Every structure is written in C-alpha cells, then in structure tokens.
Amino acid sequence: MTPHWRAVAVLVYAFAGSRPASAGVYGIDDRHHVYLEDDPRWHDLAARSVIAELRSGWALCDGITIAPTQTLGEYADLCPGEAFEDDPVVTSCSATLIDDDLIVTAHHCIEDGGCATAAFAPGLRFSAKNELAIPGPDDIYTCRRVVAQTDGVDIAIVQLDRPVAGDYVPATLGPTPDEEGAELGVIGFPTYTPMKIARECTVRGLHAGLVRHDCDTFHGNSGSGVFDGDGGLFGVHILVTGDYDMVGDCYVTKVYTQDGHIPGIPSAPQFGAAARIDDLLPVLCESGWPTPLCGTKASCGDGTCSGTETAASCDSDCGPPVCGDAICEVTVELACDEDCGHLTAACPGGESSGGDTEEPSTSTDAAG
C-alpha cells in the first residue's frame, strides 16, 4: 500500500508492529482530522494542547527527526476502503497539556518503567489534506517523572523534561458532567495515527468514578483528553470496547449502535470510559507540587524544578543535566547514550542530533 500523504519532515524508518486488539465506532464514525474541524474552539484546543506519546522507531539524528512510515492499513491488515487506512502509525498513546511542563494521560501508557523511554510531541497532525506536520528534534519531549497517580485508577500526571515551548498552551479544566446525555468530545490518536477529533458523543453513564461515553475511540486513544461541550477538560479516556472483525483475509472496524449494542446481537450495552481528573488533582496538590492547578506556582528556590524553570533560569532548583539519571533532556544531552540511547539507536551510523555530553554532578531537584 502506498501512502498518499507527504510529510513536512523526513520519514525514513519503518516500524513493524502487530494488529491492534480493539476499536469502537458508535453509529456513524465521527472521527476527523483537525484541519477539517469547523469550530475554532475545538480546532485550537487540538492544535495547541494535545500531546502524542511517540511510538518506538522515532529517532533524532543529526538535526533530523526520523519517524515510522508503516500505514494503518499495513499495520492492522485492514480491508481496502477502511477509514484512515493510508495514515502512518506513529504514536502509542495520547495525552493533554495541563501546565507548562505537565501532561495528563492514562497510567498504563507509562507504567512499568516506561517513563525512562517515553517520548512525546505536540502538534502531530495533518495540517492540510495529505500534509503531515512532523515535529522537529526541538519539539520532542521526554518523561522526567510521574508526579501524581492513584491506586486502582488508570490515570497519571507526568512531568516532561522541560516546559513545552512555542504556541502551545495548557487546556482549561472543566467540571465532570453530572448527568447522562451531556455533550462530550475526545481528542487523541486513534489506532496510533495522527491526531483526530471525535465530538458527536455524549455521557452514557456515571459508574464507579468513571464517565461512560459513546465517543468513537480506538487503541491509541488511551490517555486522550475527554472534554465537555464547551471544551473544558475533565477526563482521560482509558477503556475501549469491541474489536476489528475479520472479513475474508482482512479486518474491518466493528460498529456498534449509538446505544452500545452490536447490531442483531442481544447484549448489554458497551461503552468507552474516562477517568476523572478531579479524582487525581488532590494527590498532586497534597504532594506540594507548585502549579496553578493547585493555586500555587513555581518559584526559583522552592526545591522543585517545575513550571517554566530550567537549569538556565533556576540552577538552584533544576541544576545541570546528569548523564545516567534516566532522564533524557533532549535539547542538551542526546550525546548521553545511557539516558537518550532510545532516541538515537536507530540513527544511521549511530549518529545523534548533537547536544552536549552531560558532566557528572549532583542535582538539587527535590524529587530526584
């Protein structure tokens, strides 16, 4: 299958993956590219606040971003004509920016030591028909630490290796809807493809701290922001239902009725689920983390490298990068293979995009 898109940056590395396990469309498939969104609020929210967790196979090489090129049709063995079959498979999870250097996502996206090798990027979307905006090396971020999580709920707040630069802004938090039928929207990376919006959906139930919904979501949407009808972020998508059906020797997306049933098969309704951010914020605030989300803000000398602070602006909190601390600070230490090797190993000849080699030192960052 030949992709019909062209990229702003070079795409030369192919990732070999296996078929995704499930997907879910309710009624009509409402997913669409960001450039097709006609509501300026939702377009800006997607373009400025949504973050992709990058799939294995990305590399930063001598000033060039190398990205996977396998198409969704190839990856998932889709039947011809399936939605987005020519889109590249480039992500692993979704997230949303909630402070200068904080994102909220599903905990399973970064569990089991995944923080040390996770990489993120804003703006990974089609900017026009067949034109894919690939982030440059300076637009790739890594995971510094998980700063808040709760037992039994698949949601986490992650600090990036540095504040997100450029025109990106944190999403505004909104209250959790308290009634069925409330309008919702989800923005993320379904089946690991570039960003999509799905907002013709509603609350279908409130159960055990979760918001059940009928938004069209797939694997890859894990961690996606779930927004109220006004664009207020209140949840993180954590659960999809259904799977691809095999037809002959290829797969098609299983489609549910809008009420969550498989057509012609008696069954209990099945819906997606979102974890509530307001259940996690107390954990963050009780930890003393300085953030406007808790009514405070970072200040140099508070012992925590956070907010817009960097080693250059507040050495007492952030300190210099330390090779071997399991934190890849992309803009200054790609030469440290111990921390950043996962982003340079695929480079031709093992080349990186440069950066200074870290000198051993003692960090004064309170959280280590």
Decide if 233 contacts 174 (C-beta within 8 A): yes
Give the residue-averaged pLDDT of 314-342: 90
Distance CA 172, CA 212 (A): 21
Q: What pTM did the predictor assign? A: 0.88
% of residues, the chain, pLDDT over 90: 66
Q: Does a structural domain hold residue 217? A: yes
Question: Would you say 66 and 12 are in contact if contact means Cβ atoms under 8 Å apart?
Answer: yes
Model confidence over 181-199: pLDDT tens digits?
999 999 999 999 999 999 9
What SS3 state is found at 47?
helix
In a domain, 44, yes or no: yes
User: For residue 227, what are the β-bridge partners?
Assistant: 185, 233
The CATH number for 147's domain is: 2.40.10.120
DSSP 8-class letter at 55: P
In the predicted model, is pLDDT for residue 355 greater than 50?
no
Half-sphere exposure of 291 (CA within 13 A, CB side): 27
pLDDT of residue 350: 58
Angle, alpha carbons 44-45-49 (nearest 5°):
115
Instruction: Examine residue 301 and state whether it is found in any structural domain, yes or no.
Output: no
Indicate whether 137 belongs to any domain.
Answer: yes
Closest CA to 187 of 67, 290, 339, 48: 48
Residue found by looking up tokens 């996770």 in the block: 118
For 68, 283, 347, the CA distances from 6, given in Å and listed in that order, are: 13, 43, 21
User: pLDDT (tens digit, 9 = 90+) per residue, 198-226?
Assistant: 999 999 999 888 999 999 999 999 999 99
Tell me if 365 is assigned to some domain: no
User: Residue 62: which region, alpha, beta or left (left: phi > 0; alpha: psi -120 to 50)?
Assistant: left
What's the 3-state SS for 284-353? HHHCCCCCHHHCCCCCCCCCCCCCCCCCCCCHHHHCCCCCCCCCCCHHHHCCCHHHHHHHHCCCHHHCCC
In a domain, 205, yes or no: yes
Q: Is residue 257 part of a domain?
A: yes
Query: Who has greater pLDDT, 241 or 108?
Result: 108
Domain residues for the domain of 271 are: 6-278
Question: Could you give the C-alpha distances from 175 to 67, 68, 106, 179, 231, in angstroms and in order?
Answer: 37, 37, 19, 12, 11
Taking only the tens place, the pLDDT of each residue in 20-39 is 324 478 989 999 999 999 99
Q: Is the pLDDT of residue 360 over 60?
A: no
CA distance 232 to 173: 5
Alpha-carbon gap, residue 364 to 317, rounded angstroms: 6
CB atoms within 10 A of CB 223: 32
Query: So what's the pLDDT on residue 361?
Result: 27
Tally of structural domains, the chain: 1
Does 175 reside within a domain? yes
